[in-house]
Amino acid sequence: MFNAFKVDANGLPLLDSFQDDLLLEDYGILDTEPFTPTDQLLDPRVDWTLGRRGIPFLDWGPMSGSDWMLDQANMGPFLNKKAMWYKRNENVISTQSAYWAQGVNGDNFRVLRLGHIILWRAEVAIEENDLATAVTLINQIRERASDDLVMGRVANTTFGAEDVLEIDETQPAANYLLGLYPSFPDQEYARKALRHEMRIEFALEGMRFFDLVRWGIAAETLNTYLTSELADDRLPWLQGATFTDGQDDHWPIPQVQIDLQSGVLTQDPAY
């Protein structure tokens, strides 16, 4: 997902090539070992979405890497920023203890927001081949995000107990650039742009799977992802995983309901 935030010199997404030349991550590197975050041009939404080493994490200070991870080998090198509360609200909207788990929080989460409505309308416009409306709506989302920068450039490459943090609060935390589309040359390009925009605007909000199913590309996308992850032996717990089209895009009918409505409900043939 990190690579989806890469942009070109005009601040536009690399729709067809963002997975080429994968950006280095501090996966498997201790926080006390040197790691310098990429200087690649990035969509600024990356650092409102992901917690990554050397980048300020809300008001908690710079994320230092592996020591912030419960299980980096399985979780990967990033954290979900969107699900986290601000430090100033610790023990106000979060708990010190709970019947289920320590740290349960009452941070409000918007399941649907205005950005969804705007991009859904853009999607309709694309399918109607009204590309002028589509590009205007997508640019509306991009323009809103273009000035939303994470500030505080961190000079540190290691984060051991003895390291003194060096942060320039007047500088953006990374090399951000977000441009507007001048136009869409054709419907297929517009679809790619829209789908990419939804991917990065709503990343880690739990919506992407349903979009992939709706677009009819779930099996292609998820199996490509599984292949790439297993090729690098990065997530061994995915070994043997595959996505079966026509089955894994929906749940079976619960057996208890079939039992309660015998002769009325029958199990989906896919299961």
In tens, the pLDDT along 10-24 reads 999 999 999 888 888
The pLDDT value recorded for residue 1 is 84
Q: What is the mean pLDDT of the chain?
A: 91
Q: What average pLDDT does this structure show over 68-96? A: 82
The pLDDT value recorded for residue 21 is 86
Backbone angles phi, psi at 6, to 5 degrees: -65, 145
What CA–CA distance (Å, rounded) separates 248 from 240? 15
The pLDDT value recorded for residue 252 is 93
Side-chain-side CA neighbours of residue 199 (13 Å):
20
Where do the domains of the chain lie, and which CATH numbers do they carry?
2-215 (1.25.40.390)
One-letter amino acid for residue 244 of the chain: T
The pLDDT value recorded for residue 95 is 63
pLDDT at 54 over 60: yes
The pLDDT value recorded for residue 236 is 75
Q: Which helix (H) or strand (E) holds 171?
A: strand 167-172
- Collapse the DSSP code of 152 into the 3-class scheme (helix H, G, I; strand E, B; otherwise coil) and give the result: strand
**CA-only gyration radius of the chain, Å:** 21
What CA–CA distance (Å, rounded) separates 23 from 37? 9
The model's pTM is 0.89
Contacts of 1 (CB under 8 A, 6+ apart): 50, 78, 199, 203, 204
Confidence at 267, pLDDT banded by 50, 70, 90: very high
pLDDT at 115 over 80: yes
The pLDDT value recorded for residue 88 is 86
Q: What average pLDDT does this structure show over 19-42? A: 91
Dihedral of the CA atoms 121, 127, 128, 129 (nearest 10)?
A: 110
The pLDDT value recorded for residue 248 is 93
- For residue 267, give both structure tokens: 């199990």
Exposure of 99 by Cβ count < 10 A (0-12 exposed, 13-18 middle, 19+ buried)?
Answer: exposed
- Terminal CA-to-CA distance of the chain, rounded, Å? 31
C-beta separation of 202 from 45 below 8 A? no
- Collapse the DSSP code of 151 into the 3-class scheme (helix H, G, I; strand E, B; otherwise coil) and give the result: strand
pLDDT at 98 over 60: no
The pLDDT value recorded for residue 105 is 64
The pLDDT value recorded for residue 53 is 95
Taking each helix axis from N to C terminus, what angle separates 218-231 and 208-215, rounded to the nearest 10 degrees? 120
The pLDDT value recorded for residue 188 is 97
Q: What average pLDDT does this structure show over 94-122? A: 76
Confidence at 202, pLDDT banded by 50, 70, 90: very high
Confidence at 100, pLDDT banded by 50, 70, 90: low
Q: What average pLDDT does this structure show over 115-144? A: 98
Confidence at 83, pLDDT banded by 50, 70, 90: confident
Output 129 or 97, whichever has higher pLDDT: 129
Nearest residue to 105 (alpha-carbon basis) of 91, 94, 97 = 94
The pLDDT value recorded for residue 96 is 63
pLDDT at 74 over 80: no
The model's pLDDT over 219-257, given as tens digits with 9 standing for 90+, comes to 999 999 888 877 766 677 788 889 999 999 999 999 999
